[in-house]
Amino acid sequence: MKRKWQRWFRLLPLAALALLLSGCGKEGVSALEPLGPVAKDQADLMLISVLIMVVVVLVVGFIYFYVLIRFRKRKGQEDYIPKQVEGNTTLEIVWTVIPIVLLCILAVPTVPKTFSLSDTHSAKKESALEIEVSANQFWWQFTYPKQKVTTAQDVVIPTDRPVVFKLTSNDVIHSFWVPALGGKVDANPGQVTTLKLEADKEGTYRGRCAELCGSSHALMYFNVKAVSSAEFDRWIKEMKAGPDQPASASAKQGEQLFKQNCMSCHAVGASQTNKLAPNLTNFADRKYIAGFLDHDKKTLEKWIADPSALKPGATMPARGASGKLTDEQIKQIADYLFTLSVEK
Ligand code: HEC
Ligand SMILES: [Cu+2]
């Protein structure tokens, strides 16, 4: 009885793993739930390979067990040796041709799809939207070169056309991955790589860094917000117009403090690119702080007081450039940052 229990206990880690993995796939972070044309094509390719592999495993497994049972050692026949078939030309041809046929079946959809999915040049002719992505430890900057707009953390795209992302990195190798929309591509320092994605439904898709890049690699999230093309055009206009002036006294005070303590790295104003920190023009419209933290004032105050306590390795200094902001001043800055909204 005790033995049996021990055996079940050994299954516990497996059960725990299954439970853990079942947590994957939240917030559109699953390649198996494709939500755009590119991702659908890729998921179909995966499905074909998996189906072929399942068939192979079933057939080979069946033959294996059949042979195991059919040719097992029987009592009274210990010295019996069944008919040997090495050098049987027919069998050799059969088990060489079958894998060739299977690989051909796999190649027919895979090869042309691989080329068309990675073809970012003719996508450009289809008037695709171009977005430059620069990856940093541990945040993302997005620039729309034609529209001359820069933002960070949340990238907004239209649903009516493909988007060509041009990726690079300011420090180490990162990898740009929006599982629901398609495969990932590395962002390398000193190099530009491209990735074509498309969202045909409006919604917010979670993206993340998929290349171990430092202590907060696992927290290097971003959002892709897909909106109608009219809404996208409006958003670009609103970004260019910028947020309204702060109204309350506290936020006004916060703006002054922000200029003195934060502007050496951050920019407010969508035409400005500052390589050192996220552009905050529409900070109040974001869904998270720093890509993953609750988007509320209390968390923001904690963030400004000590970023690396919340996101290990974050290069932003605690309590501003001087390190001397008081709790009251931090509160005022938080008030100001929450006025930075362009959505009317
Ligand atoms: C030395 C440069 C630097 C200074 C000075 C600096 N920051 Fe940052 N800040 C950063 C970096 C880098 C990040 C991105 C960190 C990350 O997500 O890994 C960041 C992130 C942020 C974010 C989150 C942005 C987002 O889109 O979610 C806020 C808010 C912020 N900083 C506010 C401030 C405030 C307020 C000050 C001044 C008190 C300040 N920062 C000073 C470098 C700086
Ligand atoms: Cu990274």
**What's the pLDDT tens digit per position in 251-275?**
999 999 999 999 999 999 988 877 7
Q: How far is the CA of 68 from the centre of ligand 1 (A)?
A: 65
170 in a domain, yes or no?
Answer: yes
Domain that includes residue 103, residue range: 29-117
Closest alpha carbon to 272 in 263, 259, 262, 284: 263
59 in a domain, yes or no?
Answer: yes
Residue 233 sits in the same domain as residue 304: no
| Of the candidate ranges 37-41, 120-124, 146-150, the one whose mean pLDDT is the lowest | 120-124
Residue 78 sits in the same domain as residue 170: no
Closest alpha carbon to 117 in 198, 178, 202, 222: 198
* pLDDT tens readout for residues 132-148: 999 999 999 999 999 99
Residue 201 sits in the same domain as residue 153: yes
Cβ of 210 less than 6 Å from ligand 1: no
Cβ of 314 less than 6 Å from ligand 1: yes
pTM of the model: 0.83
Q: Which of 238, 273, 298 is the last residue of a domain?
A: 238
The domain tally of the chain equals 3
* pLDDT tens readout for residues 166-203: 999 999 999 999 999 988 999 999 999 999 999 989 99
Q: Which ligand is nearest to the CA of 311?
A: 1
Percent of the chain with pLDDT over 90: 67
Report whether pLDDT(128) > 50: yes
Here the CATH number for the domain that contains residue 233 is: 2.60.40.420
Report whether pLDDT(298) > 50: yes
Pocket probe for ligand 1: among 266, 296, 299, 329, the residue whose CB has the most ligand atoms within 8 Å is 266
Residue 130 sits in the same domain as residue 214: yes
Q: How far is the CA of 140 from the centre of ligand 2 (A)?
A: 9
Here the CATH number for the domain that contains residue 56 is: 1.10.287.90
Count of CA atoms in the C-beta half-sphere (13 A) of 106: 14
* pLDDT tens readout for residues 315-326: 999 998 888 899
Pocket probe for ligand 1: among 260, 310, 316, 328, the residue whose CB has the most ligand atoms within 8 Å is 316
CA dihedral 153, 158, 161, 166 (to 10 degrees): -20
Q: How confident is the model at residue 25 (pLDDT cuts 50, 70, 90)?
A: very low
User: Quick one: 172 exposed, middle or buried, by C-beta within 10 A (0-12, 13-18, 19+)?
Assistant: middle
Nearest residue (CA) to ligand 1, atom 42:
316
Q: How confident is the model at residue 20 (pLDDT cuts 50, 70, 90)?
A: low
